[in-house]
Amino acid sequence: MNYTKLEYFISRPRLDKFRIATGNSVVKAEQLYHINLRVSRSFYPILHMFELALRNSINENLALYFSNPQWIIHEKDRFMSAPSLGASGYYLKRSVEDAESFVTGKYGSVSAGRIISCQHFGFWTRLFDLLHWRLINGNLIRCFPARPRDVNRRVVSSMLNRIRGFRNRVYHNEPICFSGSHLNFDMVHSIREEIYTILRWMDEDLAIYIQHFDDIDAEIARIQDL
């Protein structure tokens, strides 16, 4: 596809940053855009498995904490409705209610498994916000049995929020090959390291397993051909 068509379908404002970064060369701008896409694509299995592992670990820990495998349904009108969560707009409760409406309309009945699978990554990371954390007595620190002793909720929450922000950039086709106006993959390297750090805190074997699907460096190396 020629650059004019690419501009039409992708949009000029989206491509301008790539063109400016490559000295106004439309050929190199298109190459850089493709490299950015390929690096983003290489993150999909890593982000997918990270999110899945975190979600399931949280679910298992809260099922034990509440002594109820249906906790996500039962706690909608309990801790998720606590007055202290008014400032958050009862985000967790609304997310569960939205999932219940969707699941009921599609399947005719509600199950905890289906409600859990409907939740976005933001649902799980919000559980590490201080307001929610206090209501579940910090139980979710148990998701990270191999963490250093000085790692607390604030550290984990900050890392998860950065990963979530990066995930959204990847899934919304935003550039990940810039730090400000500078062309580099510093953000990519930083986020990947945080992902693997959290995975190792969860389970070293889990981190090793996910690395088998990691070809991020090979995709980043393509920038040498610009």
Percent of the chain at pLDDT above 70? 100
Domain, as residue range, for 220: 23-71+120-225
Span 168-177, average pLDDT = 96
What Rg, from alpha-carbon coordinates, does the chain have? Answer: 20
Q: How many residues does the chain have?
A: 226
Domain assignment of residue 101, yes or no: no
Residue 225 has pLDDT above 90, yes or no: no
Span 164-169, average pLDDT = 98
Say how far apart CA 36 and CA 7 lie, in whole Å: 16
Say how far apart CA 71 and CA 64 lie, in whole Å: 9
At 118, list the tokens: 């409907």
Domain assignment of residue 154, yes or no: yes
Domain assignment of residue 10, yes or no: no
In which band, very low, low, confident or very high, does the pLDDT at 139 lie, cut at 50, 70 and 90?
very high
Domain assignment of residue 108, yes or no: no
Domain assignment of residue 42, yes or no: yes
CA 88 to chain centre: 20
In which band, very low, low, confident or very high, does the pLDDT at 180 lie, cut at 50, 70 and 90?
confident
Domain assignment of residue 95, yes or no: no
The pLDDT tens digits of the residues spanning 53-103 come to 999 999 999 999 999 999 999 999 999 999 999 999 999 999 999 999 999
Say how far apart CA 39 and CA 93 lie, in whole Å: 35
Residues 80, 96 contacting (CB under 8 angstroms) = yes
Domain assignment of residue 198, yes or no: yes
Average pLDDT, the chain: 97
Say how far apart CA 77 and CA 93 lie, in whole Å: 8
Count of domains for the chain: 1
Residue 178 has pLDDT above 90, yes or no: yes
Residue 210 has pLDDT above 90, yes or no: yes
Domain assignment of residue 167, yes or no: yes
Per-residue model confidence (pLDDT) at position 97: 98
Per-residue model confidence (pLDDT) at position 3: 92
Span 6-33, average pLDDT = 95
Per-residue model confidence (pLDDT) at position 47: 98
Per-residue model confidence (pLDDT) at position 181: 80
The pLDDT tens digits of the residues spanning 194-203 come to 999 999 999 9
Nearest of 153, 156, 136 to residue 84 by alpha carbon: 136
